[in-house]
Every structure is written in structure tokens, then in C-alpha cells.
Amino acid sequence: MSFIIIIIALALIFDYINGFHDAANSIATVVSTKVLTPFQAVLWAAFFNFIAYLIFKDHAVANTIGKTVFKEYITLPVIFSGLIAAIIWNLITWWFGIPSSSSHTLIGGFAGAALTHAIFVSFTDGSEIPALNTIIDYGKIGKIIAYIFLAPIIGMFFSIFFTLVTINKNLWLKVGLLLASCVVIWISFMRFQHNKIDGNISKYFKIDKFEHDLEKVQGELSMHSLTNDKKIILENQKQELENQLNDSKKSVEMAHQFVSDYEMKGSKYVAEKIFN
């Protein structure tokens, strides 16, 4: 019980550090240009952060952090070590003024702690080291690493475009660029919305769960220290999971036929079409 209290205290400390480490970056521009005072900027940022949560009620980033490590390896020591690592790194980057994301730090801390914990337990028990893809989600972590490098480049191209729009003295060209950017933003938003719906449908039919369970079973099958009975059990589990995954994919494909009706007729109509 005392260990849990310590972890909760560490989480609060991390949240406090995140306040002056990451949150300060969001108001740096308006404060440095004297558009708002620091006090006004903090109130402004806090208000809109709260309103954004009330409107969207989405924990997408938190869910991504939580799912980078598979739940079998999320233990109290792993959470403790991940938080300690994230706090230390945040303080180091803050002290030296190095831009660094607390979310990325937390993901790295949890992933490293889970890998170390799994390998250490294997050594102490004398068992075989589990496959790494059964400990951490390579797909999610790969995307996170990719966007660490892509985000500054994407931001640079956007800034180049909007600078050209701002300094251009040709009114018609400026209007054309603005209209073109609005069209691109609208198309991107619609694509994002459809992808979000597709993702929710896949989650409903447990595609991610079956893929994860199947990957875990395949990882266990790759171990050399398996008895024949254990191997037969795992082969049966693999076959059952493959069947469940195929059935879920068929349900998702059927559901996609009615996604276009979602905006006009609502979720109830789509659900009735899928399950009737």
C-alpha cells in the first residue's frame, strides 16, 4: 500500500514538473512578444485546455502511452522506474534548456523499465527471455519515434507556407493560397474523421486485442524450451485467435459499408444495419 502511495506522489511530482516544462512552451510565444502577460497567458492556456477536454473527452495520447507496454509487464516497479526516469530526464532538459516532450520521455521510461524487468526476471528464474514484441508494442513506439523526427520538418514547411502568404503583396495570390490551404485542411480533417471512425470500429471488434494475443502466442511458440503439451496448447490457441481475428475483420469490412451514413443518419442507424 505504501508503495502505491509513493507512486501516486511521483505521478503528482511528474505532473507538476510537466507544468513548467511542457506547458510553459505553449505560452512562450505570446509572452515573449508581449501579446499577453505571463499571468494572462497561463489563465488562457488553462481555460482552453480544460474546454478542449470537455468538448472532445478524448484520452488518445494517454491511451497511447498506456498501451506501448503490454499489460502483462505493467507492474508497480515498472511504473515506479518509468516515472523516476521521466522526472530525472525532464529536470535535466529543463535545467539545460533543451526542448523535450514529457510524453515521449514517459513512453521511453515505461518501455525501458518493462524490458529491463522482463529480462531481469528471466535471468533470476532461469527461464527463457521473452520475445521483445511480447513486451512492448513495436508499432506504436515506431510511430512515436518517426514523428519525433518528422514534427520539426512538418512544422518548418507549414511555417514556410504561411510566411509566403503573409509577406506576399499580390492580393489575389494571397487569397488563392489561403483558399487552397483551407481546402487542404478541410480534406485532411475529413480524412482524419473517417480514420477515427474506422479505428473505433476496429477497437469495437477487438482487432487490436486479437492481433496482440496472436503475436504473444507466436512469440511463445518461438521459444525453444517448450514441452510437447505446451506446444499443442499454444498451437490450438493460435488457431482459435486466427479464426477470431478473421471473423472480426469480416465484421469490420461489413461495418465500413455503412460508415458513410454515419453523419446523416447517426450511430444508431449504423449499429442497426451492422447487427441486423
Give the integer Cα–Cα distance in Å for 112 and 180. Answer: 44
3-state secondary structure of 225: coil
What is the chain's alpha carbon radius of gyration, rounded to the nearest angstrom?
A: 24
Whether residues 229 and 92 fall in one domain:
no
Choosing from 146, 167, 188, the residue where a domain stops is 167
Residues 140 and 245 in one domain: no
In the listed set 167, 191, 208, which residue is the last one of a domain according to the structure? Answer: 167
Q: Are residues 83 and 151 in the same domain?
A: yes
pLDDT at residue 102 in the model: 84
Which of these ranges, 2-6, 188-192, 236-240, has the smallest mean pLDDT?
188-192
Are 82 and 129 in the same domain? yes
pLDDT mean over 227-249: 82
Same domain, 152 and 177: no
Residues 141 and 211 grouped into a single domain: no
Residues 272 and 253 in one domain: yes
Containing domain of residue 86, as a range? Answer: 1-167
- The size of the chain, in residues, is 276
pLDDT of residue 273: 65
Segment 59-85, tens digit of pLDDT:
667 777 777 887 778 888 899 999 999
Asked whether residue 154 falls in the same domain as residue 179, the answer is no
Co-location of 157 and 199 in the same domain = no
For residues 140 and 52, state if they share a domain: yes
| Per-residue pLDDT, 84 | 94
Q: Point out the domain boundary residue: 145, 167, 189.
A: 167
Number of domains into which the chain is organized? 2
End-to-end C-alpha distance for the chain, whole angstroms: 49
**pTM assigned to the model:** 0.68
pLDDT at 176: 79
On the question of pLDDT at 142 being above 70, the answer is yes
**Residue 112 pLDDT greater than 70, yes or no:** yes
